[in-house]
Amino acid sequence: MRSLITGGAGFIGSHLTEHLLGLGHEVVVLDDLSTGSEHNLATVRDDPRLRFVRGSVCDPDAVERCMDGVTAVYHLAAAVGVFTILDKPLESLRTNLAGTETVLEAARRHDVPILVASTSEVYGKNTTAGLSEEDDRIVGSPLKSRWSYAEAKALDETLAYLYHVEHGIPTVIVRLFNTVGPRQTGRYGMVIPRFVQQALTGAPVTVFGDGQQVRCFCHVLDVVPALVALLADETAHGAVYNLGNAEQITISALAGKIIEATGSHSEIVKIPYTEAYGDGYEDMQRRVPDCTKARDRVGFRPHHTLEDIIRAVIKDRRPAT
Ligand code: NAD
């Protein structure tokens, strides 16, 4: 078994790389290191079954060079994080649209099963408690950069689905809800590593908006085996699956929990969205998954609690003494 992981030097991709090597697979990682890092692959760097290729998923030649002997593709490469999308809207859109089509086209040519990582962002402002795969999308204006990530990922889903329907390529789409754990960086807008970093350094923990937004967080080590199980299961192909944890918490309560867990004296400071992200930013009040479909198909059930996640991120971020 040889898997290609696009974005394999990123947060989720590096855990998936370790997992597949642990299962005895060979792994090819294609990553342009824009938000990822070779350091994320430090534990497996010397494994002869790992090949790292620095290049872009938007470059068909680079993708083609990675396809030799590949039996499964995990397409995780994307421009990720609110700050990235707002900073480089056009480049992000191109990566998230053209990159996915390039990788799907390579999978079609080589007739290889492919998993495409989508996101709970596609549900937009739908605040149903327990979003299921059939629920409607409620998104803002296409001229607001904030929604371009959701728009691109939604089109990626349609592309992946049509490659399945029209070309018979085995595809699986996963909608990841907030996924957290060691190696995730807060630099691009991810809330838990950002709060942990602030608390560990005694800086104010900055909550954007009123802090009453409800979110759910899933440990990356709960998500990764489900990616592999879904792609390996022929009956899962041609469909979309939510993957997340349904344990809910407000962002203010999360900040308090992290301050307590780090033993920090940081204060919580609320910052208006306009100050954090500029004018016109829209957030959603609640984002909670219903993962019944993935549970019924491959037994997906998150085992890590929010406390486990916070402990793991603190351990990862605390400077060694
Ligand atoms: P990440 O930023 O750590 O990983 C993305 C990786 O893709 C990085 O290593 C980056 O360098 C690479 N990349 C970006 N553009 C590229 C390009 N043009 N060519 C090659 N590589 C490129 O983020 P992550 O959290 O690990 O996200 C992985 C996937 O999961 C993404 O598709 C993301 O949209 C999706 N996702 C993540 C979350 C989450 O909470 N972490 C939630 C929903 C969806």
- Distance from the alpha carbon of residue 117 to the mean position of ligand 1, in angstroms: 9
State the closest ligand 1 atom to the C-alpha of 77, by its place in the atom list counted from 1: 7
Q: pLDDT at position 186, please? A: 81
Residues 80 and 206: their CA atoms lie apart, in Å, by 20
Residues 197 and 269: their CA atoms lie apart, in Å, by 15
Q: pLDDT at position 198, please? A: 96
Q: Which domains are assigned to the chain?
A: 2-180+219-245+287-301 (3.40.50.720)
Please state, in angstroms and as integers, the Cα–Cα distance from residue 41 to each residue in 51, 58, 89, 178, 218, following that order: 11, 22, 28, 22, 21
Q: pLDDT at position 70, please? A: 98
Band of residue 321 on the pLDDT scale cut at 50, 70, 90:
low
Band of residue 282 on the pLDDT scale cut at 50, 70, 90:
confident
Residues 192 and 186: their CA atoms lie apart, in Å, by 7
Bridge partners of 131, per DSSP, are 289
Q: 45-54, 159-168, 275-284: which has the minimum mean pLDDT?
A: 275-284
Secondary structure (3-state) at 214: strand
User: What percent of the chain stands above pLDDT 90?
Assistant: 87
- Distance from the alpha carbon of residue 288 to the mean position of ligand 1, in angstroms: 21
84 has a pLDDT exceeding 90? no
Q: Among residues 149, 241, 277, 281, which one is catalytic?
A: 149
pTM: 0.97
The reply to whether ligand 1 has any atom less than 6 angstroms from the CB of 186 is no
Which DSSP symbol is given to 58? T
Active site residue 149: yes
The reply to whether ligand 1 has any atom less than 6 angstroms from the CB of 33 is yes
Q: pLDDT at position 318, please? A: 86
Question: How confident is the model over 111-116, as a mean pLDDT?
Answer: 98
State the closest ligand 1 atom to the C-alpha of 13, by its place in the atom list counted from 1: 26
Which of 76, 100, 104, 191 has most ligand 1 atoms within 8 Å of CB, for mutation?
Answer: 76
The pair of three-digit structure tokens given for residue 262, joined into one six-digit string: 């780090």
- Distance from the alpha carbon of residue 197 to the mean position of ligand 1, in angstroms: 21
pLDDT digits (tens, 9 = 90+) for 241-265: 999 999 999 999 999 999 999 999 9
The pair of three-digit structure tokens given for residue 311, joined into one six-digit string: 């402990």
pLDDT digits (tens, 9 = 90+) for 102-112: 999 999 999 99
114 or 147, which is more confident?
114
Question: How confident is the model over 159-173, as a mean pLDDT?
Answer: 98
64 has a pLDDT exceeding 80? yes
Distance of CA 104 to the CA centre of its chain: 18
Question: How confident is the model over 223-240, as a mean pLDDT?
Answer: 98
Q: 12-16, 38-42, 137-141, 252-256: which has the minimum mean pLDDT?
A: 137-141
Question: How confident is the model over 294-303, as a mean pLDDT?
Answer: 98
The reply to whether ligand 1 has any atom less than 6 angstroms from the CB of 35 is yes
Mean pLDDT of the chain: 95
Residues 156 and 107 sit within 8 Å (Cβ to Cβ): no
